[in-house]
Amino acid sequence: LQVEQGFEKALGAALADDLRAPEVEADGGSGWSLLPDYPEHQSLPGGVQPITHHVSVPDVLARRLSQVGVVEAVDAPHLQAELKPGQRLVSPQGDLWRWDGYRTFAEEQPSAAALRLEQLNRLEELKQMLAHASAKADGARQAHETLKTRLADLTRQDAEAREARKAADQALNEANRALSRTEADRNLAQSRLEALGLAVTRHEEEAMAARKQLAEAEGALRELGDLDAARAEVEDVKMTVEAARITMISRRSEHDEVRREGEARKKRSQEVTKELSGWRHRLETAEKRSAELNERKSATEEELEEAAATPASLAEMREELSEKIDQSEARKAAAADALSAGEGALRKASEAEREAERAAGEAREARAAGQARQEAAEEARGQAAHRIEEELETTPERLLETLDATPDDMPKAETLEADVNRLKRQRDALGSVNLRAEEDAREVQEEHDTLVREKTDLEEAIKALRSG
């Protein structure tokens, strides 16, 4: 059974105490049993909305609630006359108008069923609010954990970036030192190469001068007449030339060695230049990486600031949610107390109902006993009338007329008993003169006792009938 919020009093007015009855089988005890739909559905008055549009009920209540409409209190009086047998109108405030003319107002007769439905709806609403607040708290807790993990990752990335920047700075310093050493070696090689070039030029000039001297010596030899002297001079010149040639060869070897060394140094210089270009490229890459790391550092610092501010907002949200949860718990506790009080009142009402049913049962039993006593009194009265007819040959009415007495004016039982006792004493005083009179007195006493009992039974039966 589910009711839209605001229609609890309407449903309580529509069903009242019938709402507490259980669903039973066809051959079961007291309660609701499932019946088929009406063969011909009788509609509610025009413009009246069935209450089934606002409540969800079991099939066993569909037959009842299909004939209940929801209207405003101001529209119900002129619509009540249009209701068909079994139909009724209710207002959202809990007022009731029935097809047979009966009506009740909520302020005059509040419904315990409506109060219980309102409490159940409020309890369900509080449960949903508690679940929503718990879900928001879980989401905030997960967001806090995510930001905490993100902060740890960013801190680790920042440390890695700092280490990478430090390694790049060390590599750049080593590259600068290697570049300085290479440039010094290149300058030294260039200096040696220039010195060797000057030496080669000087040796070539000396060789040319020696060749010139040889030519002059040969010319002079031809001009000389002394061949031996010329030969000796020629030998000297040859030796000089040979010495110069040997010197030139050694100088050339030194020149070649210097040239090879210069080429090697040049090659090394190219390699150093290439390595320098590589280090410069790595330096540029490191600078770009450093710039990226700086940007990431700035972004990380901003995120860290945001993350640092987030726990405060999360704490505020958490406090707010905690406060809302506490309020929800308080409302839930209040609702639970109200529900407990309502259930206590319901139990008291149920006990009062059972007590009333028990009293009604006792009244029915007393009524049945009174009816039995009435029947016994009727039977005794019939027997007494029969005896009067047989023995006195008259009717009880005529006997009552001859006695000149009325039932209301008859003396009390105590008076009659006193009279009987007095008559007995008179009879005893007379002795055994008239045995017939004694027998008559005994019969009169028996009849008197019977009439007294019948009168008492009739009075009790009348009282029971009046009270029941």
**Pair 203, 280 in one domain:** yes
Query: Looking at the domain assignment, is residue 439 inside a domain?
Result: yes
Do residues 261 and 189 make contact, with C-beta atoms less than 8 angstroms apart? yes
Residue recorded with tokens 């079994």: 86
What proportion of the chain, given as a percentage, has pLDDT over 90? Answer: 0
- Identify which of 55, 102, 57 has the alpha carbon closest to the alpha carbon of residue 76: 102
Do residues 349 and 112 make contact, with C-beta atoms less than 8 angstroms apart? yes
Q: What is the CATH number of the domain that holds 169?
A: 1.10.287.950
Q: What is the pLDDT of residue 174?
A: 83
Give the largest CA-CA distance in the chain: 242
C-alpha distance across the termini of the chain, in Å: 38
**Pair 20, 154 in one domain:** no
Query: Looking at the domain assignment, is residue 344 inside a domain?
Result: no
User: What are the angstrom distances between the C-alpha of 255 and each of 30, 114, 173, 207, 373?
Assistant: 132, 121, 37, 15, 162
The b/e string for 251-278 (b: 16+ C-beta within 10 A; e otherwise) is beeebeebbeebeebeeebeebeeebee
**Pair 65, 30 in one domain:** yes
**Residues 195-205: tens digit of each pLDDT:** 777 777 777 77
**Pair 89, 180 in one domain:** no
**Pair 228, 307 in one domain:** yes
**Pair 321, 218 in one domain:** yes
- Mean pLDDT, the chain, rounded, equals 72
Q: Which residues contact 390 (CB under 8 A, 6 or more apart)?
A: none
**Residues 377-434: tens digit of each pLDDT:** 678 777 777 777 777 677 766 766 666 556 566 666 566 667 667 766 766 665 554 5
Q: Which domain holds residue 458?
A: 366-467
**Pair 311, 200 in one domain:** yes
Q: What is the pLDDT of residue 331?
A: 67
**Pair 36, 149 in one domain:** no
Decide if pLDDT at 47 tops 60. yes
Query: Looking at the domain assignment, is residue 115 inside a domain?
Result: no
**Pair 261, 177 in one domain:** yes
Q: What is the mean pLDDT of residues 69-85?
A: 84
Query: Looking at the domain assignment, is residue 48 inside a domain?
Result: yes
| Cβ neighbour number for residue 292 with a 10 Å cutoff | 11
**Residues 444-457: tens digit of each pLDDT:** 667 767 777 776 77
The token pair at 123 is: 């309890």
Q: What is the pLDDT of residue 321?
A: 61
> Looking at the 3D structure of the chain, how many domains does it have?
3
Q: Which amino acid is at 107?
A: E
Indicate the SS3 state at residue 32: strand
Confidence of residue 342 (pLDDT cuts 50, 70, 90): low
Q: Identify the sign of the CA torsion 23, 28, 33, 36.
A: positive
Q: What is the pLDDT of residue 90?
A: 87
Decide if pLDDT at 105 tops 70. yes
